Homo-oligomer: A and B are copies of this chain.
Amino acid sequence: MTDINRRNVVKLALLAPFVASMAGTAFAQTPASMPEHKMPDMGPEMNKVHWLGDEQIGMLMYPGMTVMDLIGPQCMFGSMMGAKIHLVAKSLDPVTSDAGVTIVPTATFESCPRDLTVLFAPGGTDGTLAAAADPATLAFMSDRGARAKYITSVCSGSLILGAAGLLKGYKATSHWSVRDVLAGFGAIPTEARVVRDRNRVTGAGVTAGLDFGLSMVAELRDQTYAECCQLVSEYDPDPPFNAGSLKTAPKGVKDAMVLLLADFVKKAKVLASATTV
Residues of A within 8 A of B (CB): 1, 4, 9, 12, 14-22, 28-31, 40, 42-43, 45-46, 63-64, 66-68, 71-72, 74-75, 78-79, 85, 87, 94, 96-104, 106, 124-126, 129, 155, 175-176, 193-194, 204-208, 210-211, 214-215, 218, 223-224, 226-228, 230-241, 243-246, 248-250, 252-257, 259-264, 267
Contacts of A253 in B (CB 8 A): 224, 227-228, 231
Can you list 17 A-B contacts with CB-CB less than 8 angstroms, sorted by A residue number?
A4-B262, A22-B263, A42-B252, A46-B252, A66-B75, A67-B71, A68-B71, A78-B99, A85-B99, A204-B236, A207-B210, A207-B234, A211-B238, A214-B239, A218-B240, A227-B241, A236-B248
Q: Is the CB of B241 within 8 A of A207?
A: no
Give bound CA distance, A244 to B7, whole Å.
Answer: 30
A94 cross-chain contacts in B, Cβ below 8 A: 94, 104
- Known A64-B20, A100-B29, A100-B106; contact A176-B234, beta-carbon cutoff 8 A: yes
Q: Which residue on chain B has the smallest CB distance to residue A105?
A: B102
For residue A238, which residues in chain B have a CB less than 8 angstroms away from its CB? Answer: 193-194, 211
CB within 8 Å for A78 and B103 given contacts A64-B20, A228-B257: no
* Besides the known contacts A22-B264, A71-B101, 7 further A-B residue pairs in the complex with CB atoms under 8 A apart: A68-B75, A71-B71, A75-B99, A87-B101, A102-B103, A194-B238, A207-B235
Contact B206 A75 (CB under 8 A): yes
CB distance from A260 to the nearest CB of B (A): 5
Inter-subunit contact A259/B99 (CB<8 Å)? no
Residues of B within 8 A of A250 (CB): 224, 227
Query: Could you say which residues of chain B place their CB within 8 Å of the CB of A99?
Result: 16-17, 28, 31, 74-75, 78-79, 85
Instruction: Give CA–CA (A255, B172) in the complex, Å.
Output: 37
Residues A245 and B264 in contact, CB atoms below 8 Å apart: no
Given A19-B264, A238-B193, CB of A75 within 8 Å of CB of B42? no
> Measured between alpha carbons, how far is A43 from B240 in the docked complex, in Å?
25
CB atoms of A244 and B252 under 8 A apart: no
Of all chain B residues, the one with the shortest Cβ separation from A2 is B259
A260, B15: Cβ atoms closer than 8 Å: yes
Picked from B28, B211, B244, B255, the residue with its CB within 8 Å of the CB of A239 is B211
Residue among A228, A236, A263 with most chain B CB within 10 A: A236
Q: Are A100 and B78 in touch, CB under 8 angstroms?
A: yes
What is the chain B residue whose CB lies nearest that of A261? B19
Bound-complex Cα distance A45 to B22 (A): 53
Which 6 pairs across A and B sit closest by C-beta, in order of nearness? A205-B234, A236-B244, A78-B99, A227-B243, A17-B99, A237-B237
